[in-house]
Structure 1
Amino acid sequence: MVLNTDEDYPQMGLNSKENKFSVNKNNTKKILFVLLLGGFMSMLSETALSIVFPHIMLQYNISAGTVQWLTTIYVLVSGIVFLISAFLIERFSTRKLFMSSMIFLIIGTIVSGVSSNFPVLFAGRVIQAVGTGILVPLIFNTILILIPRQKQGLVMGLVSLVILSAPMFAPVFMGFLMGFMDWHWFFLLVLVFFIATAVLGLSFLKNVTEVTRPKLDILSVILAAVGFGGIIMGFSGLGDYGLSLNVILPLIIGIVSLIIFAARQLTMEHPLLDLHVFKYPFFTIGIIINVINVMVVFAVVIILPMYMQNGLGTTSFVASLVMLPGSILNCLLPLLAGHIYDRHGPKIIVSSGLAVMCISMIFLSNLSVSTTLAAVLIINCGLYIGSALLMSPNQTNTLGNLDSKHYASGSAIMTSLQQMGGAIGSSLFVSFMSFGQHSYLQNIITPDPAQQISALISGVNFSFLIGAIILAFVFLLSLFLKKEVHA
């Protein structure tokens, strides 16, 4: 329903003075501007640090497996908050949720900006992630309420472009800043925008949802958090510790927690997530494709800059420029992919995208010290083209073929697992890289700088080779996709 006048509110249950307002065209534009500005800046913070990981590793004397947690924890925590987003939106007013998200983002940005060691920076990232986890679902929910159905596709496309472009352009922005100042200054610049967004929100944002008193199953949230956290923690230590207790124990705890979580959801009258949607093959295959796609892209976003800076000796800014064309293509091509999907269905476009990604990963698994930046740019563009071709059609096919009663759970599962996929991809593939490095150096007692570089590149190649193998398997799964498969 579109809210246009005060008379709409008795029907919606929004009858308090706090909620009554006239949503005209001008109000809607102001509300969307405030929400999108906050969403863009929050997502900008998600991946900005990946381009300066080599600097942070040197400054704080930490390993690649440790530094990747700065991105992994952000994605993990925001994903956990996504799981309870429906509860939060029903329980609290729009203004309260928005201002809460801004407070978390402002505090987290300040903590990150003044950090002088890894634990403090890590804590700042956790606080920021909570704010992002609250804000992003609020943006999409508000749009569904304010925008007429016949215009929702266009507006949702615009919002997706803004939200998805931020993580892509963040490393480029950070790389540019590194040419003039220390990476800490990024957080000061972002802080200014967050404060401005909070002030604008106080002025323009109105309550557009009905506040109820839903119940939240705390145990389910804890089980999900422990489950995903344990799995990610186990994978992140794989490269440094091998199959030791430090890896096996978190994995076991994580897997057992997720099994209990799933069993609980399947037996509850009002589950946090309706897992019965996995009985549909098209949904299960679609989720697997989506998660693997995000895992690989996040891995490349983190590992490829490390290769360029530590292996080829480029600056952060140059490395970010090499990544830029692929990011642009990734933002623009979904429109073409959607058109192809509408005409030919999911199999052709999704399978083609996976094939292009797989071929690109094979090329990335053969990098060397003599590989040119132009070659890296072209290969990276190929990877992003493949990802852009499959992402939107796969999501449309996965959710669009569900019964309407499963839309909410299907959407929550996809967005949450997408975030978890990014976190798992970051930790798992960096562990593969570390494993490859250690294998190269195991018989070298005192490696010289050239051998250290060779070890790094060997680890990068091994990690990307594993990615190519996984993509080849998922490509085979995509051949079973069909359109308009309803239960």
Structure 2
Amino acid sequence: MVSTQNENYTINKSKPNKSTTYRILTILLIGGFLSMLNETALNIAFPHIMLQYNISAGTVQWLTTIYVLVSGIVFLISAFLIQRFSTRKLFISSMIFLIIGTTISGISTNFPVLFIGRVIQAIGTGILVPLIFNTVLILIPQEKRGLVMGLVTLVVLSAPMFAPVLMGFLMGFMDWHWFFLMVLVFFVATIILGLSSLRNVTEITHPKLDILSVILAAVGFSGIITGFSGLGEYGLSLNVIIPLFIGLVSLILFTIRQLTLEHPLLDLHVFKYPFFTIGIIINVINVMVVFAVVIILPIYLQTAIGTTSLIASLVMLPGSIFNCFLPLLAGHIYDKHGTRIVISSGLALMCISMIFLSHLSASTALMIVLIMNCGLYVGSALLMSPNQTNALGNLDSKYYASGSAIMTSLQQIGGAIGSSLFVSFMTFSQNNYLQNLINPTATQQVSALVSGVDFAFLIGAVVLGLVFVLSLFLKRETPT
């Protein structure tokens, strides 16, 4: 048996045969795709929901932000869950949460009910996604992980990109509620498939869960995201400073506690590996920027240019298609040629695309927006899988559970921060444009929105440029 950092977690040496391995991964990936499909599906419907429920952009973005925040917090305890419960039990539990949450979202008639449904959905996603990554690390030999991680990335991380396209297409014919009711059918089919075919791949132990660590992490990330989400509307006021301060203090206390506990919730010693630390930074920034674009671009297309939700989804469709298939190619290139060639190239392409996206106007041709969006998605797809493989696959096996939990949780938290922070940047610039105008016209309102969109995307380009420089220090390493 191979033990992890707390010496309680053991990997079953009796690995399944190839056929069984493929069946286990297929079931998990189907569930993972469906769960992540829910994550961003509502983004294309935000303008409609804002009108339907009479809420602002800052409020409506919480439907996505709360999803990634809650799932990210659950990711933090995934190392404990994987050690405490069998693969089969965790999968079934995640499906139950997803079925309940999807049902509530599909029948919701007001914002609070929809919000609750999103929270329940997120719990299911938070259980399932780390389980997928951990299962790959257990079942797949290191020399083949690049390609398999590319497949996982294709299935799990392409879903949030494809979901707004599917939602926009459906909204051309029916109300957005029907999306959830249609996905619900597939969730039910998936849990039936799991009950009949899924088997366990780990041996169960009885680790202790440090509740205080969970509370500190939840308060910390919630405080930071709440502060960032109010930045555009309130500026550097107490409404922003107080939650940010509480969040930062909580995360500092969380870090100190993890480093002093005999059996921590997460073993933060994984950050002693430079390839892991740099990989985490790249992963978080990538997800922040992509989530920001997935939320802001549909608002721009439907509000500034005046497209329908269907047309907006079609503009985003080619990028989503690239995002689906390129991770496999990127994983193959990583296996053959190493780390920097794909990760640095992907970041460079993302940065260039964001620079062009920061020069949008109310008269920008849809084809131009489509091409720039494709560039962003292609860059993200090129770097995501190799970066995850390099950061996780080269860790010592005793860090697999904590490394996977940290990677997936910070990925989700990054999405939540990106959603709230960049919408705040947009709102800040938009309000700054309108502050000296009395009774602004519809044209001026549109110009203000475009100004906000351009400012948010410019910040994204600057951040990506800095991370590109950081990526040049990456190399594939083997831990000692």
TM-score, length-scaled by structure 2: 0.92
Shift of 1:56: 0.7
Shift of 1:376: 0.2
Shift of 1:343: 5.0
Report Cα offsets for 1:335-382 as digits up to 9, x if no partner: 333344445543343222222211111111110011000000111111
Give the percent of matched residue pairs that are identical in Structure 1 and Structure 2: 79
Q: Distance in 1 between matches of 2:406 and 2:313?
A: 32
For 2:4, the equivalent position in structure 1 comes to none
Give the 3 Å change call, closer, same or farther, for CA 234–50 of structure 1 in structure 2: same
Shift of 1:461: 0.5
Report Cα offsets for 1:76-113 as digits up to 9, x if no partner: 11111111112112222333322221221111111111
For 2:215, the equivalent position in structure 1 comes to 222
For 1:179, the equivalent position in structure 2 comes to 172
For 1:266, the equivalent position in structure 2 comes to 259
**Is the counterpart of residue 115 in structure 1 residue 108 in structure 2?**
yes
Return the match for 1:302 from 292, 295, 300: 295
Q: Is the 8 A contact 1:13 1:210 kept in 2?
A: no
3-state DSSP class of the match of 2:220? helix
Report Cα offsets for 1:46-89 as digits up to 9, x if no partner: 11101111111111111111111111111111111111112112
Shift of 1:449: 1.1
Q: Distance in 1 between matches of 2:177 and 2:292?
A: 23
**Is the counterpart of residue 311 in structure 1 residue 311 in structure 2?**
no
**Is the counterpart of residue 337 in structure 1 residue 330 in structure 2?**
yes
For 2:320, the equivalent position in structure 1 comes to 327
Q: Distance in 2 between matches of 1:70 and 1:410?
A: 28
Shift of 1:24: 6.7
Q: Distance in 2 between matches of 1:175 and 1:464?
A: 23
Report Cα offsets for 1:383-407 as digits up to 9, x if no partner: 1122222222322333344344333
For 1:198, the equivalent position in structure 2 comes to 191
Q: Distance in 2 between matches of 1:208 and 1:49?
A: 35
For 2:270, the equivalent position in structure 1 comes to 277
Give the 3 Å change call, closer, same or farther, for CA 141–291 of structure 1 in structure 2: closer
For 1:6, the equivalent position in structure 2 comes to none
Q: Distance in 2 between matches of 1:282 and 1:213?
A: 31
Q: Is the 8 A contact 2:72 2:126 kept in 1?
A: yes
3-state DSSP class of the match of 2:207? coil
3-state DSSP class of the match of 2:476? coil
Q: Distance in 1 between matches of 2:135 and 2:377?
A: 30
For 1:54, the equivalent position in structure 2 comes to 47
Give the 3 Å change call, closer, same or farther, for CA 397–90 of structure 1 in structure 2: closer
Q: Match for 2:106: what amino acid?
A: G
Q: Which runs of 5+ in 2 are unaligned?
A: 2-10
Q: Distance in 2 between matches of 1:27 and 1:471?
A: 41
Return the match for 1:93 from 54, 70, 86: 86
**Is the counterpart of residue 425 in structure 1 residue 418 in structure 2?**
yes
Alignment of 1:442-461 (within 5 A): 442-461=435-454
**Is the counterpart of residue 385 in structure 1 residue 378 in structure 2?**
yes
- How many residue pairs are counted as aligned between the two chains? 472
Q: Distance in 1 between matches of 2:264 and 2:454?
A: 43
Q: Distance in 1 between matches of 2:309 and 2:290?
A: 19
Q: Match for 1:388: what amino acid?
A: A
Give the 3 Å change call, closer, same or farther, for CA 157–477 of structure 1 in structure 2: closer
For 1:165, the equivalent position in structure 2 comes to 158
| Larger relative contact order (Cα-Cα within 8 Å, sequence gap ≥ 6) | 2
Q: Distance in 1 between matches of 2:275 and 2:363?
A: 43
Alignment of 1:460-475 (within 5 A): 460-475=453-468
Q: Distance in 1 between matches of 2:368 and 2:350?
A: 16
Return the match for 1:291 from 284, 299, 313: 284
For 2:98, the equivalent position in structure 1 comes to 105
3-state DSSP class of the match of 2:437? coil
For 1:19, the equivalent position in structure 2 comes to none
Shift of 1:229: 0.8
For 1:79, the equivalent position in structure 2 comes to 72
Shift of 1:456: 0.6
3-state DSSP class of the match of 1:406? helix
Q: Rg: which structure is higher?
A: 1
Q: Match for 1:303: what amino acid?
A: I
Report Cα offsets for 1:410-462 as digits up to 9, x if no partner: 23212211111111001100000010110010011211111111111110001
Q: Match for 2:346: what amino acid?
A: G
Give the 3 Å change call, closer, same or farther, for CA 113–375 of structure 1 in structure 2: same
Q: Distance in 1 between matches of 2:390 and 2:95?
A: 34
Q: Match for 1:381: what amino acid?
A: C
Q: Distance in 1 between matches of 2:336 and 2:144?
A: 21
Return the match for 2:340 from 335, 344, 347: 347
Q: Distance in 1 between matches of 2:457 and 2:438?
A: 26
Shift of 1:475: 1.9
Q: Decide which moves more: 412-421 or 396-405.
A: 396-405
